[in-house]
Amino acid sequence: MLVAMGISACIAITATSLLAQEKPAEKTAEKAAEKAAPAPGGSGHSHFTKIPATVEEIWQAIHKQQGKLVSVVNKKELGEAHDHAFAIRDLVKALPAKVAAEFRTKAEEGAKEITKLAADIDKSGAAGAQKATEANVKKMGEAVIALQTKLQPGEVKK
């Protein structure tokens, strides 16, 4: 009876893990782009951002996350700010692989700046520093606008 229960448990665990696996047809690069690094400062959890297929969809997702970021900061929910800041970071980091070669350097430079700002938002939010977090969110918004201006939709491949 114990053996039968053990076998049943193994089958259930195996079936669950097989169902949870991603489709093998997915591209390795896409899977890697969807996984973000653990949050800086050793907060103990990772952020996963689904990266859209096109540049236009990435910008839409960035703007959606910016709206959420501004909203949580305005509500003084600073503990939530890092989730949206890191989602923006991850989305921006996906742009260099999707833009035309002549814009790749600009996209990479913008991604570095926004990565730093996401870390700044995480730090100020974790410290409960409302004014500093607001200032960092404003800087990130300006950096996103500047990057989008450099990478106009007509100038990038979709």
pLDDT tens for each residue of 116-141:
999 999 999 999 999 999 999 999 99
Comparison of pLDDT for 132 and 23, the residue scoring more: 132
- pTM of structure: 0.69
Locate 79 and state its tokens.
């503990």
Q: Distance between CA 24 and CA 99 in Å, rounded?
A: 26
Which residues are CB-neighbours of 105 under 8 A, at least 6 positions away?
none
Q: Tell me the two tokens of residue 135.
A: 């200032």
Domains of the chain: 28-155 (1.20.120.290)
